[in-house]
A and B are shown apart, each in its own frame.
Chain A
Amino acid sequence: DQQVKQNSPSLSVQEGRISILNCDYTNSMFDYFLWYKKYPAEGPTFLISISSIKDKNEDGRFTVFLNKSAKHLSLHIVPSQPGDSAVYFCAASDDNTGKLIFGQGTTLQVKP
């Protein structure tokens, strides 16, 4: 039972263009969403988060959008840089437990 899904295993974009990573969830009890970036042989690094009371959160080149009715969130990176090449995980949490439910990850490659 995959409650958080990232349906695109990989994405390739040109440097300077926008990267859009998508994530869908099924559990309407989730009220907090996070994006993590992961390089090989390292732990996930927190990027940006959004509470369910918001529909957008922006931090520099990173913006997360939340569509609660569609149970969908997306991460926009603009402009994309080669150093952004990594695996991106979305994760969801319900406030009661604190545990994170992760998607399968999307590998982003930004070409110079």
Chain B
Amino acid sequence: NAGVMQNPRHLVRRRGQEARLRCSPMKGHSHVYWYRQLPEEGLKFMVYLQKENIIDESGMPKERFSAEFPKEGPSILRIQQVVRGDSAAYFCASSSLSNEQFFGPGTRLTVL
């Protein structure tokens, strides 16, 4: 009975490199959400996806960030040319038809 899985749990990148964060939703869940938590702040919505579709990306920065949820495999949040300000905890959540979202353990990205 696996919950939401995220990997890696910790990721260190140098400025200018790419970061790829993966999220496998709970079994039977077809809705995936990505949130970012900056230090000392609450979680901020980034993007909402269903299989092969981006439903709402109103929280995504306009440049360097992209997300996908392919027909097969995990959802991927991709950050190109990372900067120090991208250092944060990135959480993925999944849900079925209800409003309850179940969160993964997060990926802690550190940009040196």
Q: B-contacting residues of A (Cβ < 8 Å)?
A: 4, 6, 32, 34, 36, 41-46, 49, 89, 91, 93, 95, 97-105
Given A32-B99, A34-B99, A43-B4, does the pair A99, B106 have CB atoms closer than 8 Å? no
Given B6, B33, B55, which contacts A100 in the complex, CB threshold below 8 Å?
Answer: B33
Min CB distance A98 to B, Å, is: 6
B101 to A46, Cβ gap below 8 A?
Answer: yes
Q: Which residues of A contact B56 (CB under 8 A)?
A: 97-99
Which of A36, A93, A98: most chain B CB closer than 10 A? A98
Q: A-contacting residues of B (Cβ < 8 Å)?
A: 4, 6, 31, 33, 35, 41-45, 48, 55-56, 58-59, 91, 93, 95, 99-106, 108
Q: Which residues of A contact B35 (CB under 8 A)?
A: 100, 102
Q: Which residues of B contact A95 (CB under 8 A)?
A: 99
B42 to A34, Cβ gap below 8 A?
Answer: no
Min CB distance B3 to A, Å, is: 9
